[in-house]
């Protein structure tokens, strides 16, 4: 069995909200979440908006909002990932490919951002190599973010991430707004990272796209893991256990039937989930 890169145990994230006067309430956004990622594999975390996907990523990266509190344990290569340790590893052994392209500095040329300001010869050579790997021409180094297409910007974000040869990669919704060909190409790049030995945590709402490259799938609802299974299990609905996971399976266009026979009653499923999870 390959080495475990990341292990999450009993992770909970809460938020404190203040109402009028001095009253306050605690919101449970993530509850008792367990997760692991091994070297060389892609684990896709799927679920609807508000299910806790991005909060999981932010908890691992140590960038949760100021009014949040975290409980549980996160281990990287077998050692607790403390706030001090994650600061040292972030951007080097642990990298984050964000959902928003606004993470790129609009006033800095692409080449400088990929090299992180470094100008020595070896870094410039690696930059050229990385650009070539992801199908980007050398002259993109002299361009600014606003001059790039959506697909090119995504590949630039990935290029920035792999400059340090990371051991663990978090990709938070890396394909929104991309047509299918470009999105598939981006997913292929994450597969290459895993094949090179990195562990990849892919956070997405697009289950059908995730299944093209993922090894395992973790389904979230209401801040909890409701099912974890091999990606191959999604070849047949009978392999899936939870009603919500089955609903996700039926929602994929390739599983639709012309007469609507295989379409699920989404309202009924959501009502069951609300009763079970309180949201």
The three-class DSSP label of residue 106 is coil
Q: Which helix (H) or strand (E) holds 269?
A: helix 266-277
Cα distance between residue 132 and residue 174, in whole Å? 20
- CA angle at 269 for the pair 227 and 267, rounded to the nearest 5°: 150
Cα distance between residue 180 and residue 257, in whole Å? 21
Cα distance between residue 47 and residue 32, in whole Å? 16
- Domains in the chain, start-ordered, CATH in brackets? 4-93+164-277 (3.40.50.300)
Instruction: Kindly report the length of the chain.
Output: 279
One digit per residue, the tens of pLDDT, for the chain of length 279 reads 579 999 999 999 999 887 776 778 888 899 999 999 999 999 999 988 888 899 999 999 999 988 899 999 999 999 999 999 999 999 889 999 887 777 889 999 999 999 988 888 999 999 999 898 888 999 999 999 999 988 888 889 888 888 888 999 999 988 887 788 878 888 888 999 999 999 999 999 889 999 999 999 999 998 999 999 999 999 998 999 998 898 888 888 887 766 555 555 555 666 666 666 655
Q: Can you list the positions of beta strands (E) in 179-223?
A: 199-204, 216-221
Residue 143 CB: number of other CB atoms within 10 A? Answer: 15
């Amino acid at each position: 069995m390959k080495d475990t890169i990341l292990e999450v145990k009993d992770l909970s994230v809460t938020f404190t909200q203040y109402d009028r006067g001095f009253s306050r309430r605690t919101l449970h956004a993530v509850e008792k979440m367990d997760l692991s990622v091994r070297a060389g594999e892609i684990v896709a975390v799927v679920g609807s908006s508000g299910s806790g996907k991005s909060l999981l990523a932010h908890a691992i990266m140590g960038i949760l909002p100021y009014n949040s509190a975290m409980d549980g344990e996160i281990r990287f290569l077998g050692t607790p990932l403390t706030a001090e340790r994650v600061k040292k590893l972030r951007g080097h052994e642990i990298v984050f490919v964000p959902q928003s392209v606004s993470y790129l500095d609009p006033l800095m040329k692409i080449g400088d951002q990929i090299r992180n300001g470094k100008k020595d010869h070896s870094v410039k050579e690696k930059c050229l190599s990385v650009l070539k790997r992801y199908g980007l021409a050398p002259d993109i180094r002299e361009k600014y973010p606003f001059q790039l297409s959506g697909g090119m910007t995504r590949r630039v974000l990935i290029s920035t991430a792999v400059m340090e040869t990371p051991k663990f990669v978090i990709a938070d919704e890396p394909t929104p707004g991309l047509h299918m060909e470009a999105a598939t190409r981006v997913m292929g790049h994450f597969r290459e990272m895993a094949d090179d030995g990195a562990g990849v945590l892919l956070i997405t709402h697009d289950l059908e796209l995730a299944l093209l490259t993922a090894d395992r799938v973790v389904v979230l609802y209401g801040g909890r893991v409701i099912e974890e299974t091999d990606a191959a299990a999604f070849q047949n609905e009978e392999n899936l256990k939870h009603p919500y996971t089955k609903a996700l399976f039926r929602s994929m266009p390739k599983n639709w039937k012309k007469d609507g026979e295989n379409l699920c009653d989404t309202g009924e499923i959501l009502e069951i989930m609300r009763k079970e999870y309180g949201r």
